Every structure is written in structure tokens, then in C-alpha cells.
Structure 1
Amino acid sequence: MRAFLFVVFVFLPVATQAETLKSAEFDHSHAAYTELLQKHVVVYDEGRRSVVDYAALQKDEPALNAYLQNLADVSVDQYRSWNEDQQLAFLINAYNAFTLELIVDHYESFASGERESIRDLGGLFYSAWEREVVDLLGRMRTLDWVEHKTIRVYFDEPRIHAALVCAAMSCPKLRAEAYIPTTLDAQLDDQMRTFLSDRSKSGIDEKGLYLSRIFDWYEDDFGDLRAYIRQYADALADDKAERKALAGDIRIRFTDYDWRLNTPENAGLLKSSQ
């Protein structure tokens, strides 16, 4: 079971009636975000992968900023009044949307070739994920805070590693829709299956089982990795022989990570019309 993120803010007062009303008015369908994603996310490879048309998204930045402001307007007390799926959907969407904004804010440097990956947005003593670029729950925070100090700490949900997208080619695909509480479980399961069915990242060959480096970095989150992966045998194995190999003590290796920006150009796709 995933745990509610109430304890981290236990010292704060109970939500007022006005805040509860405002909370009820928050759009948990994240419709504005879905509209942006449907316009600017390019899904390909039979739905297994996606890239972002950042040039077009940059022209639509006011709409992105308006959505981010809606997230920023949510108070801690509002957040505490939500159920578990509302909280987790909110955090996943926030991580992905603020990542998009981070890239859009520096898109010219990517377009010019000055920068190639999100890692190039870091400094000498900090990474891109340690920059305070996330306006959330009453203060400026980092992407690392959202992922490592919040989601991974207070939610026992390893499938988030197939849902959080850091703008790299080897990341899981960014869905062309927001995560919403009413379908969150199904969306997360579909994300994991889709991620594991992408043969550029995971699969079985003559050397054994190869997986995205994400499963190496966060192996502890999955518990017994082999047992966890076997739940998705239908996504990983392409035939009976591969399923049999997966059921045994198959050797596991992890693939190199392609940190290049997840753009149509880097994917070898035609640039989307602008």
C-alpha cells in the first residue's frame, strides 16, 4: 500500500472551510495539462516511445505557465485534504510539467547546440535536478525534492519510475495525457508495461535480460527485481522460449543511458509542423 503524505506536514493546521472549498475546485482531471501534452508530445513506435516538440511548446509557454501556476496555488492544507491518488497524480504531473518548463526556459541553448541534455543545465556544485525551479506547496523546491524526498519516501509505488520523465531519450515515454486520480493505477500499470515493451531499453536476447539503467539506479525500490519483472513477462518476453528464460535465474544487465534531449530530431523523426 502507498502511504499518505500527511506526516510530512503534520505540524500545520487543519484546512479551513475556505481552503477545503478551494481544494474541491482544483481540477483533478488536469485537463489543461492534457491539452498541452496532446498538442506537443509526439508518440511513435506503436505507442512505446514519445518525444516533445519543444519549439512548438515554447510558443505555447503561456498555457504551460498557467497550468504551473494552478499547481503552485495549491496550499499544503489543500494537498493534505486530498486522497492518495489525487496526491500522487498531482506530484507526478508537477514533476513532468516543471521539467518541461525547465527545458523550454533554456530551449534556445538546445536549439543552437550549446546544450545537448538536461544535465547541461546543472552547475559546478549542483545538478539540474537540484535547481529550485519547482513552485510547489508554498515554496520553491527542486525536482529532486519532488521525486526523492517526497514521492519515493511517502509512496510505496515503484511504477513511478516509468512515469517520471526527465527529458532524455532513454527516459520512459511522456504520456500525451495527464495522470488523473480516477485512472491512476491503470495508467501506471500501462506505463510500466509500455516501458518494458520498448526493445531499445528492455528485452531478452542471447546474453540474457537487459533492462533500462533506471532499474539499476532504483533497484531497492523494486524489492526482488527478478520477481518484480516477472509480473510483466508479457511485456518483456516475445515468445515461449523467452518466457521460460525469464522464469529462471536469468542474467540481468543494464543498458547505457542516452541523455540527449527527447526531441523529434534526436529520435530521427520529421520535425513536427509549427
Structure 2
Amino acid sequence: MKYVIIFSILITSFTAFAAPKSELWPYWNASNEQNTSTVSYQDWQTLLDKYLVVKGQNSLFQYDKVSNDDRDKLKNFLSDMAQINPLDYSKAEQYAYWVNLYNSITVQLILESYPIKSITKLGGLFSFGPWDEKVVTINGKTLTLNDIEHRILRPIWNDPRTHYAVNCASLGCPNLQSQAFTTQNTDKLLTQAAKTFINSPKGVSEEGNEITLSSIYKWFASDFGGLEGVKKHLLQYKAGIEFSGKNIEYDYNWNLNELK
């Protein structure tokens, strides 16, 4: 039994610090740029309007307040989303589709197991969170949250701001946006989310001779162009950060982004 416990701890520790690589799933790298129609995310927006509260520099979700009727509405929304073929739409619409799908599935996963202290408590015995669980079937292909983020969003769009768009229901994560992503507002939301996160202590914190950055900038440094790319990226949104001669530490808060 002792060895089983030790093995479990080792697996959990490894998973906690090992970020998936960006590896394209070629099937999803197609679009219909002639199609100017859009998907409706109104049902998701209604839930955000009702249960997402901005408090200080955090957006917090009122999981304990979600009614049974609204739980059903979320399930119906996800069912409707699963009937859509995103490849029929433009790349711009696809980006909004995948981000909204990811975020709404994450909220549903929390609601299904609530109350919990952290999303990392979900998943199997040797899992660190639910990200490798099969959660949705699109075009006959069963996907995990990791598939959506690391095999579709990251490699197709190659925009590091995607890390500010997808939300992992944790206090250390960039905020769940109060607006559903759309073709029209995506760039504005990404810029706004990046600026808010970087100018908050969970993004960048300076104290004495030490700078503490979100672990996102360690796990996904390659998306920003390595450490020097991370520094340039941060300075785009927060002028005056002094990296020279300072130690860089990383931190992340996995506690649930809930408002009680």
C-alpha cells in the first residue's frame, strides 16, 4: 500500500507541472471563409450575466447559486453546440466557438461535482484534473479539454493570448470573461484579458529583488517565444517591469474561482 501511495503522489506531482505541448490535430485545421454566419452563444451569455461576479481583480462564479433550471439550460446549450460542425464556419467564428465550448464545459464539470475546493480534484485516481477526460463529441470525434486547447486552439491560431481566453475555474487562472466570445469581440476581449491579468498580482507581482510570475509563463513559455519573449509580452501590457538583476519565481493558485 505504501508504494501505491508513493506512486500516486509521483504521478500527481508530474502531471501538475507538465504542460501539454501544442500539437496540431490536422482534421480541425479547415474552414469555410465564405460563410459569414455566426453561432448564437446567447444561452451561455445569459448564464454569465446571472452567475459571474467581478470582485476586485477576479471574476468569480456563483456555483452554489445555479438553479436546476439553469443547469438544464447549460446542458442543452452544450448539446446544441455539439450538433454544430465548426468546420462549416470561418476561422474567426471557430475561435469563438472553441473558447466558449471549453469554458462552458468547464463550468458544467464543476457543477456536476460541486462542492469541491479545486478543479484538480476532478478526474481519475491518477489524474490531476479533468483535462484528459472525454467530455464532448463534435463531428463524431470525441474530445477532451486538452484536445480543444492544445490540439486545436493553440496550434491553429498561434496566439499566446489564448491562455487568457480559456478558463480553468481557478483563482490563479486569467479571469473567465463576462462576455461570450464572438467574431466581433474576440480581439478586444483577448487584449482586455491580457491587460487585466498582467496588471494583477496573479499575473505579475514585484517585491524587493524578486518577481513572481504566473506559472502560465513557465508552462507555456514557448508560446511567447521563451523567457525573453515572455518579458516582451508582459511589457506590452504593463510598462515599467524591471527584470534586470531580479530573481524570477512562478506561482499558481488552484483554488476554485467561486463566490460564496
TM (normalized to structure 1)?
0.76
Alignment partners' CA distance in 1, 2:141 and 2:26: 18
Shift of 1:217: 0.8
Alignment partners' CA distance in 2, 1:129 and 1:244: 33
Aligned to 1:119: 120
User: What per-residue deviation string (whole Å, max 9, x for no partner) do you get for residues 96-152 of structure 1?
Assistant: 100001111111xx2xxxx42111112124441111122334333211111112112
1:66 aligns with 2:76: yes
Q: Among 159, 162, 169, which residue is 2:161 paired with?
A: 159
**How do residues 242-253 of structure 1 correspond to structure 2 at under 5 angstroms?**
243=240, 245-246=242-243, 248=244, 250-253=246-249
Contact persistence 2:39–2:93 (CA under 8 A): no
Aligned to 1:50: 59
Aligned to 1:105: 112
Structure 1 residue identity aligned to 2:118: S
Alignment partners' CA distance in 1, 2:25 and 2:168: 26
When the two chains are superposed, the root-mean-square deviation of aligned CA atoms in Å is 2.8
1:84 aligns with 2:91: yes
Alignment partners' CA distance in 2, 1:163 and 1:244: 23
1:206 aligns with 2:208: yes
Paired residue secondary structure (2:66)? helix
User: What per-residue deviation string (whole Å, max 9, x for no partner) do you get for residues 151-188 of structure 1?
Assistant: 12222011011111111121111111101111211110
Paired residue secondary structure (2:242)? helix
User: What per-residue deviation string (whole Å, max 9, x for no partner) do you get for residues 47-81 of structure 1?
Assistant: x3111101222531112112112210112xxx223
**How do residues 249-264 of structure 1 correspond to structure 2 at under 5 angstroms?**
250-255=246-251, 257-264=252-259
Paired residue secondary structure (1:38)? helix
Consecutive unaligned residues in structure 1, runs of 5 or more:
238-242, 266-274
Alignment partners' CA distance in 1, 2:137 and 2:157: 21
Shift of 1:82: 1.8
Alignment partners' CA distance in 2, 1:90 and 1:207: 42
Contact persistence 1:135–1:141 (CA under 8 A): yes
Shift of 1:27: 2.6
The aligned length equals 235
Contact persistence 2:218–2:250 (CA under 8 A): yes
Consecutive unaligned residues in structure 2, runs of 5 or more:
1-23
Alignment partners' CA distance in 2, 1:131 and 1:263: 22
Aligned to 2:5: none
**How do residues 223-242 of structure 1 correspond to structure 2 at under 5 angstroms?**
223-233=225-235, 235-237=237-239
Aligned to 2:195: 193
Alignment partners' CA distance in 2, 1:165 and 1:180: 16
Alignment partners' CA distance in 2, 1:116 and 1:208: 29
Alignment partners' CA distance in 2, 1:44 and 1:223: 32
Paired residue secondary structure (2:43)? helix
Contact persistence 2:58–2:171 (CA under 8 A): no
TM (normalized to structure 2)?
0.80
| Higher deviation after alignment, 223-232 or 62-71 | 223-232
Shift of 1:260: 1.6
Contact persistence 1:196–1:236 (CA under 8 A): yes
Contact persistence 1:58–1:104 (CA under 8 A): no
Paired residue secondary structure (1:254)? strand
Paired residue secondary structure (2:136)? strand
Alignment partners' CA distance in 1, 2:235 and 2:153: 26
Contact persistence 2:117–2:256 (CA under 8 A): yes
1:95 aligns with 2:95: no
Alignment partners' CA distance in 2, 1:202 and 1:183: 25
